[in-house]
Structure 1
């Protein structure tokens, strides 16, 4: 069967860049050609042969050597119905998974990535997409192996993503990755009450709040300069009001800071500004007692 040869050419050259006999291809592909062709009989079967020359070519020639025709080995036993060129296909080595930054808090970043290998001489290109409920939409500028979403929103919750992998040059067929899902959790909020106001020397001030959402269970406080009041980090959130510890040495004035709350999912609220006013302590009056 090596009297039937497949020759590949590239450009205007008459020198083949690839040449193999049908027998060689059958060994590579594990085919039993004798079971497919009956000499001087009527049994006919269809055989699809796919081969990858691993080199660029743009036309294919199938050659029957003269000896096969002279001995009438072929006759009507072998016919070529169709020859088609299929583009090279990239291979996705590592699929994107939902475990990579897929479960995130609202307003934070998320990322997905894919690993693919390219056919010889091909530079890969990528296009990430998301599903809007009816069709897949290309994400502008998302043309890398890595998809970065810098600011997630609740509208993205339960959204599916995928990536198309193709080639920048040549005849390359696109492949599409598995779908992955993005889960976005809402951040908690806190609504503050009346701003605290105390006199100098008082060591506790009350920061009231009247509403929360997202089930926060801890809070943190940072102070703006001069930060003479100590910061607080991940303290248990009381049920009604937050007690601020004020050193007795703090001077009179208005102090500003920010409070954030966090829930059991690890999501942190947007910082909420507040103020604490420390009034100067009024000096005790001098009493003079006199008698007439």
Structure 2
């Protein structure tokens, strides 16, 4: 029994070896090599199509390149399609940093408030650019007028305003008006003259700072009172998100600003016909009684 099993085993091994010998003896032509893909274990031919070879056949019947060096494939050249010029323009614009989306409703309401404040007739809106400038030192006497405001020269300020009242809207390269400078340096008499002549109480400079914020920052309590009595808005923040309440260390100024924050919030909630009465009753009376 042992001899028979041994004989059978030997005959099976002989058959396997003969198969290997036959397969390894087959010659691989160049066309076979070109059509064979070892990594995929696939053979492609024009007549029979694609054949997936068994793993065992793949191990025994891998074609030899006859000493030829393996050719490393090159990546295809990049495709450069023609781009629409409008698309290119859009992509260039997309690289630019995003700008803040303006709050048009807020800007519109602010504009109406300022027009009411300067007492400008709406039917003459086309002539507004002649009064309110768009560039620094636009008026003829802008430089000398702003210099007089900077140094608190009341007589000079009155002289220039009597000649041209629209000078109160002029500003310098920092977009600071005469009222900004008066508030910053605590020239109370200059601030009063400018406000009587319809200077914009909530004018903003390049850093979005109002005269009230500058007066609070310098703890100029008298100028703060004058500005608040002329309805300066304590809710307008600078570009750095600073409010008048946060820039002052004076406790009296902080108390006033807190009071007027509440007053302005109440004014917004009231009907327009009741606002003036509320202002006179609560705002002006509060300032008069304040020591």
| TM-score, scaled relative to structure 2 | 0.18
The structure with the greater share of residues assigned to strand is 1
Larger RCO, structure (CA 8 Å, separation 6 or more): 1
Larger-Rg structure: 2
**More helix per residue: 1 or 2?**
2
